[in-house]
Structure 1
Amino acid sequence: MNLKLQLTRAFFISLLSALGFGIVALLVSDQKINQFDSVITSLVQGREAPALTNIMRFFTFIGGGIPVVVLTIIVLFFLYQVLHHRRELILFASVVVGSALLNETLKVIFHRARPTLHRIVNANGFSFPSGHSMAAFSLYGILAYLLWRHISTPVGRGLLIIISITMITAIGVSRIYLGVHYPSDVLGGFLASGSWLTVSIWFYQRYLEKRKLKVSAEKTREIRK
Structure 2
Amino acid sequence: MKIRNPSLLILSLLLLCSFILLARSLDTVIVDTFDTQIIQAIQLIKQPFLTLVMRFFSFIGDIIPVMIISVILFIILYKVFHHRKELILFSIVLLGSTAFNIGLKAYYQRERPTLYTMVTEESFSFPSGHSMAALSLYGILTFLLWRHIPRQSGRIVLITISTFILLMIGVSRIYLGAHFPSDVLGAYLFSGFWLVFTIWGFKNFKLSS
Q: TM-score range by the shorter chain?
A: over 0.9
* Alignment correspondent of 1:118: 116
- What is the deviation of 1:75? 1.5
Q: What's the secondary structure of 1:116's corresponding residue?
A: coil
- What is the deviation of 1:31? 6.1
Task: Give the TM-score normalised by structure 2.
Answer: 0.95
* Alignment correspondent of 2:166: 168
* Alignment correspondent of 1:204: 202
Task: Give the TM-score normalised by structure 1.
Answer: 0.89
- What is the deviation of 1:10? 1.1
* Alignment correspondent of 2:154: 156
- Tell whether the 8 Å contact from 1:29 to 1:110 is kept in structure 2 after alignment: no
* Alignment correspondent of 2:36: 38
Q: Deviations over 1:154-185 (max 9, x none)?
A: 10000010011101100000000000100000
1:74 to 72, 89, 114: 72
* Alignment correspondent of 1:19: 17
Query: Based on CA coordinates, which of the two structures has the bigger radius of gyration?
Result: 1
Give me the identity figure in percent.
Answer: 48
1:63 to 47, 61, 64: 61
Q: Give the Cα separation in 2 of the matches to 1:105 and 1:124.
A: 15
Q: Give the Cα separation in 2 of the matches to 1:89 and 1:206.
A: 16
- Tell whether the 8 Å contact from 1:129 to 1:186 is kept in structure 2 after alignment: yes
* Alignment correspondent of 2:193: 195
Look up the equivalent residue of 2:157 and give its one-letter code: L
- What is the deviation of 1:5? 10
- What is the deviation of 1:146? 0.2
Q: Give the Cα separation in 1 of the matches to 2:151 and 2:80.
A: 22
* Alignment correspondent of 1:97: 95
Look up the equivalent residue of 1:61 and give its one-letter code: F
Q: Give the Cα separation in 2 of the matches to 1:5 and 1:144.
A: 24
Q: Deviations over 1:57-76 (max 9, x none)?
A: 00000011221011110111
Which runs of 5 or more residues in structure 1 are unaligned?
212-225
Q: Give the Cα separation in 2 of the matches to 1:119 and 1:84.
A: 44
- Tell whether the 8 Å contact from 2:149 to 2:155 is kept in structure 1 after alignment: yes
- Structure 1: 4+ residue segments shifted above 3 A: 29-32
1:87 to 85, 88, 94: 85
Q: Give the Cα separation in 1 of the matches to 2:4 and 2:147.
A: 13
Q: Give the Cα separation in 1 of the matches to 2:182 and 2:89.
A: 28
Q: Deviations over 1:9-62 (max 9, x none)?
A: 211210111011011101115564111100011112221000000000000000
Which runs of 5 or more residues in structure 2 are unaligned?
none
Look up the equivalent residue of 1:177 and give its one-letter code: Y
1:48 to 46, 49, 56: 46
* Alignment correspondent of 2:178: 180
Q: Give the Cα separation in 2 of the matches to 1:82 and 1:145.
A: 15
- Tell whether the 8 Å contact from 1:45 to 1:176 is kept in structure 2 after alignment: no
Q: Give the Cα separation in 2 of the matches to 1:109 and 1:174.
A: 24
* Alignment correspondent of 1:223: none
Q: Give the Cα separation in 1 of the matches to 2:3 and 2:135.
A: 23
- What is the deviation of 1:82? 3.6
* Alignment correspondent of 1:28: 26
